[in-house]
A and B are shown apart, each in its own frame.
Chain A
Amino acid sequence: MNWIQVQTFAQGPHTYVGIEVFLPQKPESGERYPLLMLLHDHGEDRTQWMRQARLERYASREGVALALIDGNQSCFVNSVTGYAWGDYLTKELPEKLAGWFPISERAEDHWVMGVGTGGYGALMAVQNAPDCFAGAAAVNPVLDVSCLYGTDYEPNPGYIFGEKESLEEKGYALTGRFQVPVRIYCDQEHLESARKWAEKGQQVKVEALKTEDLLEEAFGAYVRGGREA
């Protein structure tokens, strides 16, 4: 595949960001590819997915373009302090990527997948902007960000979500009821609580991961067929 490291200005969070793009494009084929965006966990950066999973072997076989994006400590949502990482993910970035590269501009060809807090970000993206994606997936996602309060989590989650008591009111609580298909991949530690959470949900499926290569197993499953409704 073609690997492209992009440094560009992101209007949402008012900062320069890195993006790792992988394109299966062969010269002169003229195709436009479906897009899967990958979101990292807290304490990581955009390179997490390429370091912890062999992405190219699956993506080239399936003809999918990948974008590994930075969210810093934002959990990929618009923060109460005014950094619009959520808008960057759902609107700004898909538009720019389809502008620069041979990537489909249609929402039905766009998917988002994340791990940990990035899993929360992926689910929030389709909860808030279901018109922008065909679906989402999450690996061991943080399903309730109220659990981050009162821990050693840096920076204080209040800078992203505001008061712990007003998460629901401010729209930072996941409802579990989605308008597009959602897959959640969990290891044993996270499986039970995710299944319980998904019981009252809509369009959400939970699957168990069997190996220690969580990201590779989940990524492989999602690009090979998990994206289908």
Chain B
Amino acid sequence: MTLMQFHIQSEVLQMGMDVWALLPDNPHTIKEPLKTLWLLHGGSGDQTGWVRDTRIEAHAGKYENLAVILPHAYHSCFVDMAQGARFGEYIGKELPRIMRSLLPQLSLRREDNWISGFSNGGYGCLYIGLHNPETFGAIGAYGAGDKADADFSYRMQDKERMFGTGDIKQSPYCVRKLALELAESGRPLPIVDHGCGEYDPWRDMNELVRDTFRSIPGDPYRYRFTMISGDGHTNTCSDRLEEGFLKRMMEEE
């Protein structure tokens, strides 16, 4: 695939931002719009992480009409921070506008746009995907718990900066609450694909998210959970789960 390193201006963040993208090598031969995977990095990562740490280019390169967009959101958990910048709005709303303008082949259809990530990016894609169901038709959240269930007792400043001083469970940062509310809202619902490694140290948090989706009558999110046996919270785990997500979206949906 063709690797592109974008240097763009975000008006929402009021700063210059780096975005990487993987595009087909021969765009002029592709007639239909490109399906687009918006892929979020892990906690201390950046836009380069997926390309350096996984085989994402090989997985995505199997399909001729697929683009991968890799944004950078620094140490933000991809949310509109309670005491900081609006990274959630940047990635969920502004970035699709910018990238579709710079890459006119990207599909505008929600069915062709999927947001995914691992670890912090797994939480981030749930947060952004569930807040923007008109933009993203599917969410691939891996190694992904709900920050509302996380233990912040040893890092309160992190918690307050990102999620404020109150109870996260009662806030728009709680993705389990978001999933239940959105299911009742009448808005379009994304497909939710979820998974983690068998030995993921936060497996219990993944299972709380899993149980919430499974509790919704009629399975409106067409929810799937994949457990990778023998693996933990690792790059090999995220690689296999992302490969499975692309296979589901490109071949089975």
Contact = CB atoms under 8 A, between A and B. Distances in A.
A23 B26 contact: no
Contacts of A149: none
B2 A101 contact: no
Interface string A1-21: 011111111000000000000
Interface in B1-41: 2-9, 23, 25-30
A6 B4 contact: yes
Interface stretch (A27-35, A126-134, A137-145): A27-35
Given A5-B4, A6-B3, A7-B3, A100 B101 contact: no
A100 B5 contact: no
A7 B9 CA distance: 21
Contacts of B82: none
Given A3-B7, A4-B102, A26-B101, A99 B27 contact: yes
B98 interface: yes
Contacts of A2: 6-9, 102
Contacts of A102: 101-102, 104
B103 A101 contact: yes
B147 to A, nearest CB: 30
Interface in B162-218: none
B238 interface: no
Given A23-B102, A29-B101, A101-B102, A96 B4 contact: no
B109 interface: no
B161 interface: no
B62 to A, nearest CB: 16
A102 B98 CA distance: 12
Given A2-B8, A7-B3, A100 B23 contact: yes
Interface string B102-114: 1111000000000
B200 to A, nearest CB: 34
Q: Looking at A28, A29, A30, A96, which has the most chain B CB atoms within 10 Å of its CB?
A: A96
Contacts of B101: 25-30, 102
A221 interface: no
A2 B17 CA distance: 10
A95 interface: yes
B222 interface: no
A6 B2 contact: yes
A25 B97 CA distance: 11
Interface in B142-173: none
A8 B25 CA distance: 7
Interface string B69-106: 00000000000000000000000001001100111110
Nearest to A26: B101
B6 A98 contact: no
A25 B28 contact: no
B24 to A, nearest CB: 9
A98 B27 CA distance: 9
Interface string A84-99: 0000000000011011
A3 B25 CA distance: 19
Given A2-B8, A96-B26, A98-B28, A25 B102 contact: yes
Contacts of A26: 101
12 contacts: A2-B7, A3-B6, A5-B5, A9-B25, A27-B98, A98-B28, A99-B30, A100-B2, A100-B4, A100-B103, A101-B102, A102-B101
Interface of A: 2-9, 23, 25-30, 95-96, 98-102
Given A2-B6, A4-B5, 10 more contacts: A5-B7, A6-B2, A8-B25, A27-B97, A27-B98, A28-B97, A95-B28, A96-B28, A100-B2, A102-B102
Interface of B: 2-9, 23, 25-30, 94, 97-98, 101-105
Give me the 6 closest cross-chain CB pairs, A-B, nearest first: A99-B27, A99-B28, A8-B2, A5-B5, A3-B7, A27-B97
